[in-house]
Amino acid sequence: MKKIFEDKNFSIEKIIVGPFTENCYLINRKKSEDCFLIDPGYESSKLINKISLYGFDLKYVMVTHGHADHTGAIAQLYQKYDIEVFLGDGDQNLYENPDKWITDFFPEFESPPKQYSIISNDKKIIIDGLNIDVIVTPGHTLGSLCYKLGNYIFTGDTLFKNSIGRYDLPGGDKDKELLSIKTKLLTLDQDCIVLPGHGESTTIASEKNNNPYLI
- Judged by the rule CB under 5 A, the positions of this chain that interact with Zn ion are 67, 157
Residue with Cβ nearer Zn ion (67 or 184): 67
The least CB distance from residue 84 to Zn ion, in Å, is: 22
The least CB distance from residue 7 to Zn ion, in Å, is: 26
Between CA 146 and CA 82 the distance in angstroms is 23
Residue with Cβ nearer Zn ion (76 or 144): 144
Q: Which helix (H) or strand (E) holds 80?
A: helix 74-80
Residue with Cβ nearer Zn ion (23 or 211): 23
Q: Is 61 helix (H, G, I), strand (E, B) or coil?
A: strand
3-class secondary structure per residue, 139-166: CCCCCCEEEEECCEEEEECCEECCEECC
Residue with Cβ nearer Zn ion (36 or 172): 172
The least CB distance from residue 18 to Zn ion, in Å, is: 12
CB 158 within 8 A of CB 137: yes
Residue with Cβ nearer Zn ion (29 or 67): 67
CB 19 within 8 A of CB 12: no
Between CA 195 and CA 13 the distance in angstroms is 11
The least CB distance from residue 163 to Zn ion, in Å, is: 13
Residue with Cβ nearer Zn ion (157 or 207): 157
Between CA 195 and CA 38 the distance in angstroms is 10
The least CB distance from residue 63 to Zn ion, in Å, is: 11
Residue 133, exposed/middle/buried by CB under 10 A (0-12, 13-18, 19+)? middle
Beta bridge partners of 57: 34
The least CB distance from residue 8 to Zn ion, in Å, is: 32
